[in-house]
């Protein structure tokens, strides 16, 4: 499973990228606001740092305006994935932009029917939101499984990008289900290394080593 980092924090991306943990980046208007930077400036910097797709989101609501914004965003760098919402107008924009050879990430997906439409419209990525479904007592991971089954049934090439990831369990379960990509905040990705038994074992090893009175260097 590929890891995308869900942030516009350049320093956080750089840290993970140095460890080979970054296959791409996703941003949205909320993350751009949090960064406090100009969308073109910060997106260009991220694209130069990361080899994989960098999602930049349109903010228009009508198809023609989405298409115009998407074309503008695509000029920032060759690895831009244009992010459009899963609305009827978003699907129209997806069809045009993907037809022009651009990567398109269709976001805010909350049902298998929506994911099927996005694949038919030529989406490069579909972004089902796990955490937001969990928030309303629906199973976000079940949606990932449903989309995986549908896409495999018909050979759709659209990649399933598990989004709104809130926990390390979301990451492992999305991988087990067969999500192509998971996008998560840096904190979640770094937390995947944590386990209480690792900490306990390390503490025991270090105490025993201290008793030997030896040094490696």
Q: How confident is the model at residue 151 (pLDDT cuts 50, 70, 90)?
A: very high
For the chain, domains (ranges, CATH) are 2-212 (3.20.20.70)
Q: How confident is the model at residue 20 (pLDDT cuts 50, 70, 90)?
A: very high
> Quick one: pLDDT at residue 149?
98
Angle at 62 between CA 5 and CA 146, to 5 degrees: 50
pLDDT, tens digit (0-9, with 9 covering 90-100), for 180-215: 999 999 999 999 999 999 999 999 999 999 999 999
For the residues 40-55, what does the mean pLDDT come to? 97
State how far the Cα of 13 lies from the Cα of 163, in Å rounded to an integer. Answer: 17
By the 8 A CB rule, do 3 and 176 touch?
no
Catalytic residue among 83, 187, 207, 215: 83
By the 8 A CB rule, do 81 and 124 touch?
yes
For the residues 130-134, what does the mean pLDDT come to? 97
Half-sphere exposure of 195 (CA within 13 A, CB side): 7
Percentage of the chain modeled with pLDDT above 70: 100
Three-state DSSP at 50 gives: coil
> Quick one: pLDDT at residue 4?
98
Q: What is the DSSP string of 139-170?
A: -HHHHHHHHHHHHHHHT--PEEEEBS--SHHH
> Quick one: pLDDT at residue 72?
98
Percentage of the chain modeled with pLDDT above 90: 100
For the residues 122-131, what does the mean pLDDT come to? 98
83 annotated active-site: yes
By the 8 A CB rule, do 185 and 28 touch?
no
State how far the Cα of 76 lies from the Cα of 198, in Å rounded to an integer. Answer: 43
H/E stretch holding 126: strand 125-128
> Quick one: pLDDT at residue 21?
97
For the residues 47-66, what does the mean pLDDT come to? 98
> Quick one: pLDDT at residue 90?
98
For the residues 38-52, what does the mean pLDDT come to? 96
| Average pLDDT in the chain | 97
For the residues 110-116, what does the mean pLDDT come to? 98
């Amino acid at each position: 499973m590929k890891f995308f980092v869900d942030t516009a924090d350049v320093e956080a991306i750089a840290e993970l990228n140095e460890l080979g943990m970054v296959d791409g980046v996703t941003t949205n208007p909320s993350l751009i606001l949090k960064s406090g930077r100009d969308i073109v400036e910060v997106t260009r910097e991220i694209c130069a740092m990361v080899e994989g797709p960098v999602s930049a989101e349109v903010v228009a609501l009508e198809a023609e305006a989405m298409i115009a914004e998407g074309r503008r965003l695509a000029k920032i760098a060759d690895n831009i994935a244009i992010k459009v919402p899963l609305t009827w107008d978003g699907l129209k924009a997806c069809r045009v932009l993907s037809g022009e050879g651009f990567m398109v990430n269709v976001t805010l997906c909350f049902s298998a029917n929506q994911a099927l439409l996005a694949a038919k419209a030529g989406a490069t990525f579909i972004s089902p939101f796990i955490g937001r479904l969990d928030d309303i007592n629906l199973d976000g991971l079940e949606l990932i499984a449903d989309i995986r089954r549908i896409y495999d049934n018909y050979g759709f090439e659209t990649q399933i990008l598990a989004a709104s990831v809130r926990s390390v369990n979301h990451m492992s379960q999305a991988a087990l289900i067969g999500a192509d990509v998971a996008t998560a905040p840096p904190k979640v990705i770094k937390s995947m290394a944590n386990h209480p038994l690792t900490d306990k074992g390390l503490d025991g090893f270090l105490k025993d080593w201290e008793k030997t009175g030896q040094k490696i260097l």
